[in-house]
Structure 1
Amino acid sequence: MIKQQRGFSGPRPRAPEPPAPGLTARIAAARAISEAVTLARPLEERLAADLSLRDPRIDPRDRALARSISTVALRRMGTIRKAIAQRLEKGMPRRTGALEWTLVVGAAQLLFLETPDHAAVDLAVRAARADAASAPFAGLVNAILRSVARDRATILGASDALDDDTPPWLAARWRATYGDEAARAIAAANRCEPTLDLSVKSDAVGWAARLGGVVLPTGSVRLDSHRPVVELEGYADGEWWVQDAAAALPARLLGVRPGQRVVDLCAAPGGKSAELAAAGAVVTTVDRSAERLKVLSANFERLKLDAEIVVADALAFDAAPFDATLIDAPCSATGTIRRHPDVAWMKRPADLPVLARLQSQLLDKAIALTKPGGPIVYCTCSLEPEEGEAQIVALLRRNPDVRRAPITAAEIGGLNQCVTAAGELRTLPCHLWGDDPRRSGLDGFFAARLVREG
């Protein structure tokens, strides 16, 4: 028997070895993709909450890599899953932990990112081994991803934007609403990662020159820069804010004058409110989320703009009638998939009737809060007619004291294709398309301008 000597406690445990470079980013990306698809958790929310990425020892480039992998995987999810399925004779094995998402992350790099094949495969195998449930399938991961790498050209050549990379229910809806050609153009636009658009307080031409961008017909500035927003000239001085060019249009359609009282319902994060305040309006912002209004308040402070900020459910908000009202209603956000590809896989058909009922109630509230003769602009970042055109048709049927005030192409930079026969705004992701996909496109938006007569 070996006696333990006093003061001797055996060998000291070794400090855990740091993970292989890039492994943390890939595991975090797999978690984020999984939760977006299966739990409808927004990608940015999951990445921000991931403790592994918040570890101060983690290279900031890993955080950027996790976001890059996640985004491209969700943008091309159908193509990736199809390629994996074709290489699984009996389908995805059950009770395998993160196996499917590890494969998705690996295939995304092999097909769409400039990751060396050996690195993508090796780190996917390591990620599989790091998960007890998927560890027995590490060899399968290796075999499938090596096959994907070999067949890259064939996989990409057979990939279809609408039939593969768009959820079937959305593809069917867009075909029915816009026709096959437009539906395919929308799907193709959603595959392309867009650059940043800015709304500037003044001198769009000057800011485009300083920041290396172009001025769009709508007046927004579109950038080519890949630098972090906070590092760009003018950010700290509050000269501009980030906002898709289509999202900048609804507030402008109100045509507010300095000193007019305007309410922005469901206002956070505040880009449209900023448009109104910069035009000189006395703005009241209403939103039920105190956290989101904190972001709005911080933005207004940076922009040196003023607004009354009210934390309230818009349906319960009450005040003296306003000169004008903007209602950017909660919606399915299917028009923002080119910027937020997780939306395509988070939303379900059952979401639409619930949202449509809320939008109808908010429209009635907006009218009640507006003085007779005052304009109301209703908008959504959705491509679904139930959340746009159909809402206005139903409103005009039930409220004879409201009429449309038609929008003209001259008000939106001459973009005739974005004005409907009824005089409403309808932008599609494939609109404003040019030779350079990164400088092209718009978020999908609907807006209608109304006037309360009685």
Structure 2
Amino acid sequence: MSRAPQDRTSRTDAPGVPARRAALRLLDAVLRRGLALEQALAGSTQGLAPNDRGLAHAIAAETLRRLADLDALIDSATQRPLPHDAKARFALRIALAQAVGLGTPGHAAIATVLPLVDGGPRKLVHGVFGTLMRRGVHFPEVPALPDAVAERWHRNWGEAVVEAASRAIAAPPPLDLTLQRPTQIAQAVSLAPGHLRLPSGSSVPELPGYAEGDWWVQDIAASIPARLIGAGAGSALDLCAAPGGKSLQLAAAGWDVASLDISESRLARLRENSDRTGLDLRVIAADILQWQPETPAQAVLLDVPCSATGIFRRHPDVLHRVRPALIREMAELQARLLDRAAEWVQPGGVLVFSTCSLEPEEGEAQLTRFLSEHPDYAIDPARADELPVGIVPRGDGALRLLPGTLAEAGGCDGFFIVRLRRQG
């Protein structure tokens, strides 16, 4: 059985086929090589027009959202299960994701996918797709999570969270904006001061206030760490700062902000946002484990690198490429970064620790370990007046945002957030 390829666009491809080839390369990068979808995007869509690039991304994302459902459909129409890395299975996933999920006419979905398959498997793909189309198949209302993910989250959080996560993955989430200045946008609703929420699919550059730098894109959950630091006029460090939303919040709140990140490419986006909004940031490219500030800061925000399982609604690839080994690796790195950052807070100052992960090893366990090893720190509980309505702290004042949080308003990313104050 042929395997999913790293094939390149053929000069003889008919219109529509290059975008499907790119989608195939994206899925191969995520499912076989373990790359993040966004990380693979540039290389996999090289040479495509912007519309085709967007289509390839949309097909790959829909396939990843519905992978378990797609494979169940495919397996229901084959005598023997296809290997999970077979090119025929990849091609069927792409065709069905379009026809069942994205509303592409069946004839167009299959015609643009068959050129991706050579030899005998092409007949198999055509036959299985035709069988399923004649059945009038559709996706279940609630998507199925990958078995390993559902089992892990059930063990950690219970059935209700697994059910909420399954519902959340069904469609791309809404678009959240953090406001620097009051802005009026049609169809927008506000869930907190300085926030607007728009429907999914809103074109960011075309929205009022974009060119003027009145706002930046930031999930409402991701805005909470800087909200917990609040307004100030002293020094603030934003560590692991790119792409910069939290740094912009701190600068807009009056802080003198130093934004540090190890990635030069990610800092380029931070600088673009700083230029567009007119908010002044001191940008530093450095490794936290090697860098040292000249003086301690009054406020330090550490949004650590993590498995990113909390942003699965926007990046469904994390459901398929994050394994326990990566979670352990990230947790070990986070502990080192948290200990390092703790040295840079003035007595009486605050350290806000956050992670967009749904794994306790990257949140609750980090807090427990940190407090046991740093007796000069204590939780400074989050207050209701600092938070969007509907988000409630735990009993100790830390925040755990799970699938289902703000569900009636469109949901939010998964996060663990805690404000710690260094004793004076």
Class of the TM-score when normalised by the shorter of the 2 chains: over 0.9
Matched, 1:125 2:125: no
SS of residue in 2 equivalent to 1:374? strand
| In 1, Cα distance between equivalents of 2:246 and 2:156 | 28
Q: Which residue of 1 aligns with 2:146?
A: 167
Matched, 1:91 2:81: yes
Q: How does 1:16-415 map to 2 (within 5 A)?
A: 18-50=12-44, 53-55=46-48, 58=49, 60-92=50-82, 98-128=87-117, 134-153=118-137, 156-157=139-140, 161=143, 164=144, 166-203=145-182, 207=183, 209-217=184-192, 219-224=194-199, 226-257=201-232, 259-319=233-293, 320-415=295-390
For 1:413, the aligned partner's letter is P
Deviation at 1:404, TM superposition (A): 0.5
| In 1, Cα distance between equivalents of 2:211 and 2:34 | 34
| In 2, Cα distance between equivalents of 1:219 and 1:81 | 42
| In 2, Cα distance between equivalents of 1:402 and 1:95 | 49
SS of residue in 1 equivalent to 2:139? helix
Deviation at 1:63, TM superposition (A): 2.1
Residues 358-414 of structure 1 show CA distances to partners (whole Å, capped at 9, x for unaligned) of: 111111111100001101100000111111111111111111111000112221023
Deviation at 1:46, TM superposition (A): 2.2
Residues 245-281 of structure 1 show CA distances to partners (whole Å, capped at 9, x for unaligned) of: 1101111101241x21000111111111110011110
Deviation at 1:167, TM superposition (A): 2.3
| In 2, Cα distance between equivalents of 1:296 and 1:211 | 27
Structure 1 counterpart of 2:399, from 418, 425, 447: 425
Point out 4+ residue stretches in structure 1 off by more than 3 angstroms: 93-96
- With over 3 angstroms needed to count, the CA separation of the structure-2 counterparts of 1:84 and 1:94, relative to structure 1, is closer
Deviation at 1:21, TM superposition (A): 2.1
Task: State whether residues 405 and 412 of structure 2, in contact with CA within 8 Å, keep that contact through their aligned partners in structure 1.
Answer: yes
Q: Which residue of 1 aligns with 2:416?
A: 446
Residues 51-105 of structure 1 show CA distances to partners (whole Å, capped at 9, x for unaligned) of: 5x524xx4x4322221211111101111111211222222226996x33211110
Task: State whether residues 285 and 308 of structure 1, in contact with CA within 8 Å, keep that contact through their aligned partners in structure 2.
Answer: yes
Q: Which residue of 1 aligns with 2:6?
A: none
Q: Which residue of 2 aligns with 1:11?
A: none
Residues 329-383 of structure 1 show CA distances to partners (whole Å, capped at 9, x for unaligned) of: 0111000000111111121111111111111111111110000110110000011
Task: State whether residues 173 and 200 of structure 2, in contact with CA within 8 Å, keep that contact through their aligned partners in structure 1.
Answer: no
SS of residue in 2 equivalent to 1:32? helix
| In 1, Cα distance between equivalents of 2:39 and 2:351 | 32
- With over 3 angstroms needed to count, the CA separation of the structure-2 counterparts of 1:316 and 1:152, relative to structure 1, is farther
For 1:340, the aligned partner's letter is H
Task: State whether residues 356 and 413 of structure 2, in contact with CA within 8 Å, keep that contact through their aligned partners in structure 1.
Answer: yes
| In 2, Cα distance between equivalents of 1:172 and 1:218 | 37
- Where does structure 2 lack aligned partners over 5 or more consecutive residues? 1-9
For 2:313, the aligned partner's letter is R
- Alignment size in residue pairs: 414
Deviation at 1:227, TM superposition (A): 4.5
| In 1, Cα distance between equivalents of 2:390 and 2:368 | 23
Q: How does the TM-score come out when normalised to structure 2?
A: 0.92
Q: How does the TM-score come out when normalised to structure 1?
A: 0.87
For 1:440, the aligned partner's letter is G
For 1:118, the aligned partner's letter is H
- With over 3 angstroms needed to count, the CA separation of the structure-2 counterparts of 1:160 and 1:415, relative to structure 1, is closer
CA RMSD, aligned part only? 2.0
Larger Rg: 1
SS of residue in 1 equivalent to 2:28? helix
- Where does structure 1 lack aligned partners over 5 or more consecutive residues? 1-15, 129-133
Task: State whether residues 393 and 399 of structure 2, in contact with CA within 8 Å, keep that contact through their aligned partners in structure 1.
Answer: yes
Deviation at 1:17, TM superposition (A): 6.7
Deviation at 1:441, TM superposition (A): 0.6
| In 2, Cα distance between equivalents of 1:324 and 1:17 | 56
Deviation at 1:152, TM superposition (A): 4.0
- With over 3 angstroms needed to count, the CA separation of the structure-2 counterparts of 1:236 and 1:285, relative to structure 1, is same
For 1:249, the aligned partner's letter is I
Deviation at 1:449, TM superposition (A): 0.5
| In 2, Cα distance between equivalents of 1:333 and 1:35 | 18
For 2:133, the aligned partner's letter is A
| In 2, Cα distance between equivalents of 1:112 and 1:449 | 41
SS of residue in 2 equivalent to 1:222? strand
Deviation at 1:239, TM superposition (A): 0.7
